[in-house]
Amino acid sequence: MFSSMNFQKTIEEIELIRESALLVSRTLGILAKEIKEGVTTLQLDKIAEEFIRDNDAIPGFLGLYDFPNSLCTSPNSQVVHGIPNNEPLKNGDIISIDCGVLKNEFYGDHAYTFSVGEISEKNKKLLQITKESLYKGINEFKAGNRVGDVGYAIQSHCEKHNYGVVRELVGHGIGKVMHEKPEMPNYGKRGYGKRFKEGMVVAIEPMINMKTHKIIQHADGWTITTKDNHPSAHFEHNVAIINGKPEMLSTFKFIYEALGIKSDEEKNFHNFFR
Ligand code: MG
Ligand code: MG
């Protein structure tokens, strides 16, 4: 058996995290159909909470560090940790929806940045590059590599496009606790940091700003926005190391099915495709 001291999980534990991660994936798939002009983030939050509870799970964010809702909903210049409210979404918005669940004592936690109606070319590129950086990071999450290899892959891809990589917020290990060690920064140096081992499970979650990497924390104690009010994007997957290689436990496939998008972006990382 692996020791939890070095963050390794057993196959049985990984399967339970997979179940939770996939429930988040299915929740995001349900939300994908609802995200349109005029809908409020509180309405989305209610749909998500009901779906999660109907599936014998508990919303993972609700009450975690006293967060008031089941989803973090972060439109446009909000980076992460936005609180659902009564403001209707507008055509052209981008919005990060981050969702967590707790089931069988294990957490799942992942996020997608959605488009509302028709968005600008600049925002399309921001979403595309941020998502690409997520897969470049996942590709480095393998036995023998280090935390800095993932961060470097994400950072170098995004900075090539002059985007800002948020420093203050990072990915994390996940298991019986939502935010476990190791911290997984979206920046770093090749060959530096904690070494990855078989059975580790992490959330990799680039938070990428169109311009400055600087952020502001708002007075509500939660909402984070970019310092210059330019947009920010956020994508997150839960990934395990199995047979030395990265295997995604979450998937965007339910979102893509809902939106009629064809994608093979997960093919190297997902057992759906193996
Ligand atoms: Mg998350
Ligand atoms: Mg997370």
Ligand having the closest approach to the CA of 204: 2
Within the chain, which residues score under 50 in pLDDT? 1-4
User: For 121, what's the count of Cα atoms within 13 Å in the CB-facing half-sphere?
Assistant: 0
pLDDT at 222: 95
60 CA distance to ligand 1 middle (Å): 10
Instruction: Return the sign of the alpha-carbon dihedral for residues 268, 271, 273, 274.
Output: positive
Find the farthest-apart pair of alpha carbons in the chain and give their distance in angstroms, rounded: 51
Domain ranges across the chain: 11-259
SS3 91: coil
C-alpha 274/C-alpha 267 separation (Å) is 8
Q: Which residues fall within 8 angstroms of residue 265, CB to CB, at 6 or more apart?
A: 131, 135, 252
C-alpha 243/C-alpha 266 separation (Å) is 18
260 CA distance to ligand 2 middle (Å): 26
pLDDT at 271: 74
Q: Are 141 and 246 in contact (CB under 8 A)?
A: yes
Ligand having the closest approach to the CA of 183: 2
236: tokens are 């997150």
Instruction: Return the sign of the alpha-carbon dihedral for residues 232, 237, 240, 245.
Output: negative
- φ and ψ at residue 55, rounded to 5 degrees: -105, 30
pLDDT at 3: 45
Burial 181-200 (b: 16+ CB within 10 A, else e): ebbbbbbbeeeebbebebbb
Ligand having the closest approach to the CA of 61: 1
- Among 145, 154, 149, 231, residue whose Cα is nearest residue 186: 154
Residue 56 Cα to chain centre, angstroms: 22
Q: Which residues fall within 8 angstroms of residue 83, CB to CB, at 6 or more apart?
A: 67, 68, 69, 72, 73, 220, 222, 223
169 CA distance to ligand 2 middle (Å): 9
261 CA distance to ligand 2 middle (Å): 25
SS3 45: helix
- Give the chain's radius of gyration (CA, Å): 17
End-to-end CA distance of the chain: 26
- Residue 273 carries which DSSP code? G
161 CA distance to ligand 1 middle (Å): 24
Q: Which residues fall within 8 angstroms of residue 66, CB to CB, at 6 or more apart?
A: none
Query: What kind of architecture, by CATH, is found in domain 11-259?
Result: Alpha-Beta Complex (3.90)
Does this model's pTM top 0.75? yes
3: tokens are 């020791």
Ligand having the closest approach to the CA of 80: 1
pLDDT at 6: 65
